[in-house]
Structure 1
Amino acid sequence: MSTDSHPLSSSSTLVPGGALRLADWGVISARGEEAAKFLHGQLTQDLVLQSTEQARLAGYCSAKGRLLATLLAVKTGADELLLALPAELLAPTLKRLSMFVLRAKCKLADASAELAVWGLAGEAARAWLGEAAPAAVWGVTQRDGARVVRLPDGANALPRYLLLQGTAAAAPDLPALDAADWSWAEVEAGLAWVRQPTVEQFVPQMLNLELLGGVNFQKGCYPGQEVVARSQYRGTIKRRTFLFATEDAPAPQVGQELFHSADPGQPAGLVAAAAQRGGRGLLLAEVKLAALDEGSLHLGAADGPRLAPQPMPYLVGEPQ
């Protein structure tokens, strides 16, 4: 954008380390000798060649290539995968996937009552995990029977992990992490999960999903694959997700529209993820690339809070 960005200072964004039970997350289990093959044909990722040492960020698309959900696939063995995703989308995702199982040797179930999802962050979390701390993003290890997934780092190289463990297991021996701090670190990492207000709003590239390793363009067909591939190779993506901040404004909300100063009559973007700490707001918003050239972006209305662009943790550009 032509207006200057205003990066938040490291002191204002520093997130403390600790652990948080992600009560707004759930887990789908897929079991059977054809579980990986079935999911491979439904999601944007290669799950057939997936190993137990690497998680897969993936999207579940409609036939029009629009994201119905984003999830994290963890393979626990040759015949079982776990799919972690926001709990609000678990039931519709499970129902839709189940419609297409047909004769495939795969049984899908809601495993949220058996498995808890924890978010871990900071050097304290890395120390607690010890040798079980995965070194690479999306790496998977085991600790006392639980699965540990390395997530993209937050700002200031803040290490983040997802822990999948039995609901009866003891909580991680770490300080309690505030939900607002976890959300802030998630947004800083540039990762926006599809939530109820954003179902079918984006093709994967609009959320930068392929930049985060969430799309495999060499694998076989899946629902919406032609649309996703066409967007990638014909350069038809005109909208991308970027990071913005607000000061002394109401907390930004997922699904809230953005407006551009030069075109106040129609939305220029949509909030995909948001966090609020101490009067400061941080959000990932999918916006028209043309809206970044000049003028200013505002939250909720053309005269709403002005958005200050923030540096992204990875390079965002046109599909290659």
Structure 2
Amino acid sequence: MSAAFATNGVVRLAHWGLMRARGADAASFLHGQFTSDVLHLGAERAVLAGYCSAKGRLQASFVVWRAAADELLLACAADLLAPTLKRLSMFVLRAQCKLGDASAELPLYGLAGEAAAARLGDAPVWSRRDTPEGTLIRLPDAAGVPRALLAAADAPAGLPALALETWRWLEVGSGVPLIEVATVEQFVPQMVNLELVGGVDFRKGCYPGQEVVARSQYRGTLKRRMFLFDVAAPAQAGQEIFHSGDPGQPAGLVANAAPAPQGGSRLLAEVKLAALAGGSLHLGAPDGPLLQRQALPYDVPLESAATA
């Protein structure tokens, strides 16, 4: 790995923003909107959550944690913070919950490598604790590199700077999707493996799109999943994927992408399960750059491939 992709240090996560929900009904309100259990979220952990439309399509994804008894913080893609804040605010109605943008007050930083490991110890993934530097959340490792999310007024002192493109490469490699403006309402949660990484609780109460999400889970109707690929070309969220055996229509969509240390890009893409049976996948056009599938850090069920 080149020096430009050194994986130890700290970086300001400019592509992430932070929302605050405060009030006696903040947890119950968000619990009724999100795919995960927010109502019973303890102070010692964070949780992944999706925010769906009535059709079960993801409008945003969050890392959520409790800052106080009546206050929760929600990290999401910066380009979605304002529209998501506006939409959520429409449904607060009489609930005692005030929503706001906390990004300027509490910037988000990414810690990777030894910088993260020294602060995390043996803390489990998605654990959350307050430290003198700020609130620290353990994220899933990527490419064997420990990672943490830090919400703090200032960056930790004395750490090497980490390139943002390095963090993005690790972020993509972790297999945890981030819904961005380019992919709003493109995916049911299972299409981007959100339930495989802890972002859907099938035991909780109702939320927008719950019936669609449950049907995809229990009726075997899911025909698309997210996988990890490398490609020898620039890539970005929202680009279409094409299959050599059916060039007339897209076979998938890029969810997230980042520059790779060896050149080209690493990307997470949702694709038809049937497209994995043979042929080749290409970025942007039927004759576009070839995608090379890589291993995700978790198993993806493929049982629907035969009927896709």
Q: So what's the TM-score if we normalise by structure 1?
A: 0.91
Please tell me whether residue 228 in structure 1 is matched to residue 216 in structure 2: no
Is contact 2:21–2:99 with CA below 8 Å preserved after alignment?
A: yes
Distance apart, 1:76 and its partner CA: 1.4
Distance in 2, Cα, partners of 1:245 & 1:192: 16
The verdict on how the C-alpha distance between 1:151 and 1:317 changes in structure 2, with shifts beyond 3 A counting, is same
The verdict on how the C-alpha distance between 1:144 and 1:40 changes in structure 2, with shifts beyond 3 A counting, is same
SS at match of 1:115: coil
Distance apart, 1:179 and its partner CA: 1.1
SS at match of 1:56: strand
For residues 233-267 of structure 1, the C-alpha deviation after alignment (integer angstroms, 9 at most, x for no partner) is: 101110000011113x3x11111001000111100
Distance apart, 1:66 and its partner CA: 0.3
Is contact 1:133–1:150 with CA below 8 Å preserved after alignment?
A: no
For residues 24-55 of structure 1, the C-alpha deviation after alignment (integer angstroms, 9 at most, x for no partner) is: 21111111111100000000010111101110
Distance in 2, Cα, partners of 1:172 & 1:149: 18
SS at match of 2:231: strand
Is contact 1:133–1:141 with CA below 8 Å preserved after alignment?
A: no
Please tell me whether residue 311 in structure 1 is matched to residue 302 in structure 2: no
Distance in 1, Cα, partners of 2:40 & 2:48: 14
Please tell me whether residue 255 in structure 1 is matched to residue 238 in structure 2: yes
The verdict on how the C-alpha distance between 1:236 and 1:18 changes in structure 2, with shifts beyond 3 A counting, is same
**Any residues of structure 2 matched to 1:85-104 within 5 Å, and which?**
85-104=76-95
Of residues 138, 150, 166, the one that matches 1:163 is 150
1:17 match: 8
SS at match of 1:183: helix
1:191 match: 176
Distance in 2, Cα, partners of 1:230 & 1:298: 30
Distance in 1, Cα, partners of 2:173 & 2:157: 24
1:44 match: 35
For residues 55-77 of structure 1, the C-alpha deviation after alignment (integer angstroms, 9 at most, x for no partner) is: 01000000000000001101112
Farther-moved stretch of structure 1 (277-286 vs 68-77): 277-286
**Structure 2 unaligned blocks of 5 or more:** none
Question: Amino acid of the residue matched to residue 283 of structure 1?
Answer: L
| CA-based RMSD | 1.9
Question: Amino acid of the residue matched to residue 27 of structure 1?
Answer: L
Of residues 140, 146, 152, the one that matches 2:134 is 146
Question: Amino acid of the residue matched to residue 9 of structure 2?
Answer: G
Distance in 1, Cα, partners of 2:157 & 2:303: 40
Distance apart, 1:180 and its partner CA: 1.1
The verdict on how the C-alpha distance between 1:13 and 1:177 changes in structure 2, with shifts beyond 3 A counting, is closer
Distance in 2, Cα, partners of 1:49 & 1:124: 31
Distance apart, 1:134 and its partner CA: 6.2
Is contact 1:243–1:309 with CA below 8 Å preserved after alignment?
A: yes
Distance apart, 1:145 and its partner CA: 5.9
1:213 match: 198
**Structure 1 unaligned blocks of 5 or more:** 1-9
Distance apart, 1:15 and its partner CA: 4.8
Question: Amino acid of the residue matched to residue 150 of structure 2?
Answer: L
Identity %: 60
Distance in 1, Cα, partners of 2:264 & 2:65: 34
Distance in 1, Cα, partners of 2:35 & 2:173: 24
Q: So what's the TM-score if we normalise by structure 2?
A: 0.94
Of residues 247, 251, 257, the one that matches 1:268 is 251
